[in-house]
């Protein structure tokens, strides 16, 4: 059966939109012939994934663009798109031969083609071709691609229409993804832009492939009634035109062709039989001005019997895309329904050409339709992009929520920016550039100054007023004030303040460390060397910890003046004392049977009461006191058992509190603030930290804290608290 879409196809003239798209294409002498000659050797022998010869497809696309009113320059671009696949550096080669504009168009169009091919493949493999949600990412990508280059719109529509015509003429099976995408993405796009012939032909062809049985049954019904219906419509058309003229209304009355897909949609949407579809017989009345629209409507309602519930006044309440017209359905003398649309010439051109009518007809007034003015190339692009945004909302649907998390706004240069719903001008500024966000001080939305916490809406144009230098306000981080909705922008503001605080902290730490080195007479010491000794990667890391009071200066003093380790080879300094009551020396350790013998606590095990201890008589340093379970002690005892001496902890005098240094080893998963959190535990438990050494390897932190304790038994309770700190895997005494 012959395609009804093919029978009804008319010249696809869309002058306003095509002219807008072509403004970026420089006209060149013999551009079409040159482009075809350039592409032919590359594509003449290849086929597309649809099975169609690539050169034949490019020829057909150029012809469709011509029928839509496209110039030779626009037609020439169709060949370069396909030729670019065969070039190693398409942008450079095409730019050299035809100019940068042609090169950019070819590259952008091919990017979009690849995205759509991937989307179709994913949808078919997941059996999602009937799910509108499966089109979400595809629509997003198309929207953003169109925002960069409006010519992509025309090329992609023409290419898809040619593909559908090819499958119809060859009767080859159509990939489901191609037909479904035409019905759910390309046809709505053509509808939104007002390219009606493309919309209707695409819909009918795609529907024919997706539901062939229903398509054929409706087409057969239309064929059976066609002669009778067309004769009746023509008689009614001429009578109505003459009657309106008699009433003093200069009107042009036209019959409207019916399209199979629109009939089926109406039948399904309203649960109607074919005979009940009210607008199978339809007329369009075009009059000079608005008052004539209502005058003609009054006369039509007087002559025929109106179906009031089918009346719509889109002049008083235009559709979101600016469409205006009066729609009514009436019954003739024998009860047959007739749909009649009444509009002015300017409204008709707007309906036929969509956004193109905004700038093509002065009758619409200085602000155009729906308040849209388009007196320049910029305004043209804005008008088209706003229709694309409206199309995106149409695709989403009121209940499906496909895009409920995002909005799209425009830059002053007419580029689209995607933002989370509820975003403000501050979010917009950070999405353009981080530095612009930091310097944002005001904003204009659609030309009017607004507060910075104003929520933005789809399609608005946003211009940022920025200072030459400066940073964000802390108020922006206050969620109750509503300055930021984007997590990305919020993190950038927070990072700015963290960086400012870090600079201040590092500066404070540097000052404290340098002052300490001056006191110790070590100003010649390299700061990076000191940091490495302290277990840090750089001096700046050391300064940061000192500046936050997470590391005491006493720990650095210990590194600068390390105490000498006990030597077993030094001269023994001891003298036998008379038996007497042992006294507690200054170190708090009693050497049983010996008086006035110098003692020191071993650094290898750092004993503290009430640890079990033993003494070892060194050579020249008195008695070294070890924990009885010290591994080092057992090694030296094995070599010199005769030097072991009995010792015990002494009792401090009344009022004296003796403290002892103890090493604590901690293993933890490294994270920001770990050192601070552990230090806070010791501070709360009133344990003085006199030294810290840290090292981090592949995300694991190894730390040694030296703390002062009076009773080692209490240390165990403190370590149980340390183990509860986030990230700590082990905490024990060395």
Looking up residue 685, the CATH number of its domain turns out to be 3.30.70.260
Name the least confident of 158-162, 185-189, 726-730. 185-189
Name the least confident of 3-17, 511-525, 565-579. 565-579
pLDDT at 123 over 90: no
Q: Are 190 and 181 in contact (CB under 8 A)?
A: no
pLDDT at position 6 is: 39
Q: Give the separation between CA 239 and CA 304, rounded to whole angstroms.
A: 13
Torsion sign over Cα 104, 108, 109, 114: positive
Average pLDDT value for residue range 467-473: 89
Q: Give the separation between CA 509 and CA 43, rounded to whole angstroms.
A: 69
Average pLDDT value for residue range 80-93: 87
From 560, 577, 599, the end of a domain falls on 560
pLDDT at position 91 is: 85
> How distant, in Å, are the alpha carbons of 58, 168, 575 from that of 46?
12, 21, 107
State the distance between the two ends of the chain, measured CA to CA, in whole angstroms. Answer: 92
Quote the percentage of the chain above a pLDDT of 90.
18
Q: Are 137 and 119 in contact (CB under 8 A)?
A: yes
Closest CA to 537 of 528, 546, 527: 528
Mark whether 528 and 442 lie in a shared domain.
no
Give the pLDDT band (50/70/90) at residue 165: very high
pLDDT at position 205 is: 92
From 485, 511, 541, the end of a domain falls on 485
pLDDT at position 619 is: 78
pLDDT at 162 over 90: yes
Q: Are 350 and 364 in contact (CB under 8 A)?
A: yes
Is residue 632 in some structural domain? no
Q: What is the pLDDT of residues 523-576, one digit of tens each?
A: 788 888 888 877 778 888 888 888 877 777 777 877 776 544 444 443 333 333
Mark whether 15 and 90 lie in a shared domain.
yes
Q: Where are the alpha helices (DSSP H) in 462-598?
A: 487-519, 527-533, 539-547, 553-560
Mean pLDDT, the chain, whole residue set: 76
pLDDT at position 733 is: 85
Mark whether 55 and 111 lie in a shared domain.
yes
Q: What is the pLDDT of residues 124-140, one digit of tens each?
A: 444 333 444 444 455 55
pLDDT at 425 over 90: yes
Phi-psi region of 572 (alpha: psi -120 to 50; beta: other; left: phi over 0): beta
Q: Calculate the CA 23 to chain-centre distance.
A: 31
Mark whether 537 and 473 lie in a shared domain.
no
Name the least confident of 248-262, 452-466, 558-572. 558-572
Tokens of 174: 């159509």
Is residue 597 in some structural domain? no
The enclosing domain of 355 has a CATH number of 3.30.460.10
Structure letter (DSSP) for residue 594: B
pLDDT at position 258 is: 67
pLDDT at 356 over 70: no
Is residue 502 in some structural domain? yes
pLDDT at position 562 is: 53
Task: Decide which of 714 and 391 is more confident.
Answer: 714
pLDDT at position 148 is: 53
Q: What is the pLDDT of residues 673-703, one digit of tens each?
A: 888 888 888 888 888 888 888 887 778 888 8
pLDDT at position 54 is: 92
Structure letter (DSSP) for residue 470: -
Q: Are 240 and 257 in contact (CB under 8 A)?
A: no
pLDDT at 7 over 50: no
Name the least confident of 235-239, 428-432, 594-598. 594-598
pLDDT at 293 over 90: yes
Give the pLDDT band (50/70/90) at residue 206: very high
Instruction: Determine the 3-state secondary structure of 664 from DSSP.
Output: strand
pLDDT at position 119 is: 56
Q: Are 277 and 258 in contact (CB under 8 A)?
A: no
Mark whether 154 and 273 lie in a shared domain.
no
Q: Give the separation between CA 108 and CA 84, rounded to whole angstroms.
A: 11
Closest CA to 154 of 351, 12, 357, 5: 12
Is residue 655 in some structural domain? no
Mark whether 138 and 27 lie in a shared domain.
yes
Which value, to the nearest 10 degrees, does the dihedral of the CA atoms of residues 251, 16, 315, 277 take?
70
Place of tokens 């605080």: 501
Closest CA to 452 of 432, 437, 469: 437
Q: Give the separation between CA 337 and CA 293, rounded to whole angstroms.
A: 20
pLDDT at 14 over 60: no
Place of tokens 């592949």: 698
Tokens of 726: 């986030």
Mark whether 241 and 347 lie in a shared domain.
yes
- Owning domain of residue 725: 660-733
Mark whether 155 and 296 lie in a shared domain.
no
pLDDT at 398 over 50: no
Average pLDDT value for residue range 74-102: 85
Q: What is the pLDDT of residues 143-153, one digit of tens each?
A: 554 545 567 77
Q: What is the pLDDT of residues 207-232, one digit of tens each?
A: 999 989 888 888 777 776 667 767 78
pLDDT at 22 over 80: no
Q: Give the separation between CA 217 and CA 210, rounded to whole angstroms.
A: 14
- H or E segment to which residue 639 belongs: helix 631-639
Task: Decide which of 663 and 521 is more confident.
Answer: 663
Is residue 726 in some structural domain? yes
Mark whether 186 and 322 lie in a shared domain.
no
CB contact set of 638 (below 8 Å; sequence gap of 6+): none
Average pLDDT value for residue range 488-517: 87
Task: Decide which of 656 and 686 is more confident.
Answer: 686
The enclosing domain of 436 has a CATH number of 3.10.20.30
Mark whether 332 and 441 lie in a shared domain.
no
Q: Calculate the CA 271 to chain-centre distance.
A: 41
Q: What angle do CA 444, 445, 446 make, to 5 degrees?
A: 115
Is residue 63 in some structural domain? yes
Residue-wise burial string across 401-426, b where 16 or more C-beta atoms lie within 10 A, e elsewhere: ebbeeebbbbbeebebbebbeebbbb
Task: Decide which of 14 and 68 is more confident.
Answer: 68
Domain count, the chain: 5
Q: How many CB atoms lie within 10 A of CB 38?
A: 17
Mark whether 37 and 141 lie in a shared domain.
yes
Closest CA to 350 of 368, 334, 373, 332: 368
Average pLDDT value for residue range 331-359: 74
Is residue 603 in some structural domain? no
Query: What are the strands, taking DSSP E only, across 586-670?
Result: 589-591, 599-601, 613-617, 623-627, 644-645, 647-649, 660-669
Give the pLDDT band (50/70/90) at residue 27: low
From 351, 371, 391, the end of a domain falls on 371
Is residue 628 in some structural domain? no
Mark whether 56 and 102 lie in a shared domain.
yes
pLDDT at position 627 is: 87
pLDDT at position 394 is: 55
């Amino acid at each position: 059966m012959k395609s009804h879409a093919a029978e009804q196809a008319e010249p696809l003239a869309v002058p306003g939109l095509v002219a807008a798209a072509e403004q970026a294409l420089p006209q060149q002498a013999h551009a079409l012939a040159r482009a075809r000659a350039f592409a032919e050797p590359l594509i003449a022998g290849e086929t597309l994934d649809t099975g169609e010869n690539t050169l034949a497809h490019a020829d057909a696309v150029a012809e469709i663009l011509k029928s839509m009113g496209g110039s030779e320059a626009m037609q020439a671009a169709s060949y370069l798109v396909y030729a670019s696949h065969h070039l190693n550096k398409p942008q450079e080669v095409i730019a050299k031969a035809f100019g940068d504009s042609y090169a950019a168009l070819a590259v952008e169009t091919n990017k979009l083609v690849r995205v759509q091919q991937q989307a179709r493949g994913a949808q078919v493999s997941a059996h999602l071709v009937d799910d509108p949600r499966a089109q979400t990412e595809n629509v997003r990508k198309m929207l953003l691609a169109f925002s960069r280059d409006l010519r992509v719109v025309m090329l992609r529509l023409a290419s898809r229409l040619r593909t559908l015509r090819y499958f119809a003429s060859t009767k080859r099976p159509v990939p489901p993804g191609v037909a479904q995408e035409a019905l759910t993405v390309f046809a709505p796009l053509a509808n939104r832009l007002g390219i009606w012939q493309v919309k209707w032909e695409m819909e009918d062809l795609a529907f024919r492939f997706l539901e062939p049985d229903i398509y054929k049954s409706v087409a057969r019904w239309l064929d059976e009634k066609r002669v009778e219906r067309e004769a009746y419509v023509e008689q009614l058309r001429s009578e109505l035109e003459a009657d309106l003229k008699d009433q003093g209304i200069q009107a042009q009355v036209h019959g409207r062709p019916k399209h199979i897909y629109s009939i089926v949609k109406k039948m399904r949407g309203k649960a109607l039989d074919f005979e009940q579809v009210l607008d199978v017989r339809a007329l369009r009345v075009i009059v000079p001005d608005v008052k004539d629209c209502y005058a003609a409507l009054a006369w039509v309602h007087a002559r025929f019997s109106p179906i009031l519930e089918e009346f719509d006044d889109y002049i008083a309440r235009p559709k979101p895309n600016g469409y205006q017209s009066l729609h009514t359905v009436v019954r003739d003398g024998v009860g047959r329904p007739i749909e009649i649309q009444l509009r002015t010439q300017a409204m008709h051109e707007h309906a036929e050409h969509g956004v193109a009518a905004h700038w093509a007809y002065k009758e619409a007034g200085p602000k155009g339709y729906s308040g849209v003015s388009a007196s320049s190339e910029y305004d043209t692009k804005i008008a088209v992009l706003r229709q694309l945004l409206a199309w995106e909302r149409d695709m989403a649907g009121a209940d499906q929520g496909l895009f409920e998390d995002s909005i799209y706004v425009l830059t002053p240069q007419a580029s689209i920016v995607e933002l989370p719903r509820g975003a403000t001008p501050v979010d917009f500024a950070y999405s353009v550039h981080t530095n612009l966000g930091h310097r944002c001080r005001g904003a204009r939305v659609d030309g009017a100054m607004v507060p910075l916490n104003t929520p933005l809406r789809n399609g608005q144009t946003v211009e940022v007023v920025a200072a030459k230098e400066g940073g964000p306000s802390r108020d922006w981080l206050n969620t109750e004030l509503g300055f930021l909705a984007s997590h990305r922008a919020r993190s950038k503001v927070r990072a700015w303040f963290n960086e400012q605080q870090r600079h201040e902290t590092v500066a404070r730490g540097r000052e404290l460390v340098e002052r300490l080195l001056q006191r110790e007479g070590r100003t010649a010491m390299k700061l990076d060397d000191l940091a490495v000794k302290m277990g840090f990667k750089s001096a700046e890391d050391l300064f940061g910890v000192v500046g936050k009071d997470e590391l005491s200066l006493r720990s650095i003093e210990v590194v600068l003046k390390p105490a000498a380790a006990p030597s077993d080879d030094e001269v023994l300094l001891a003298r036998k004392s008379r038996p007497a009551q042992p006294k507690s020396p200054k170190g708090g350790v009693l050497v049983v049977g010996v008086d006035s013998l110098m003692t020191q606590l071993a650094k290898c095990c750092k004993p503290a009461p009430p640890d079990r201890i033993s003494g070892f008589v060194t050579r020249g340093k008195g008695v070294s006191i070890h924990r009885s379970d010290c591994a080092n002690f057992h090694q030296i005892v094995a070599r010199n058992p005769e030097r072991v001496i009995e010792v015990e902890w002494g009792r401090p005098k009344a009022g004296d509190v003796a403290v002892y240094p103890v090493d604590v080893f901690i293993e933890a998963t490294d994270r920001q603030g770990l050192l601070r959190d552990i230090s806070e535990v010791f501070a709360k438990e009133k344990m003085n930290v006199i030294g810290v050494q840290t090292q981090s390897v592949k995300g694991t932190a190894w730390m040694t804290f030296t703390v002062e304790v009076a009773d080692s038994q209490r240390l165990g309770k403190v370590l149980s608290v340390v183990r509860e700190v986030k990230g700590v895997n082990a905490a024990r005494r060395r």
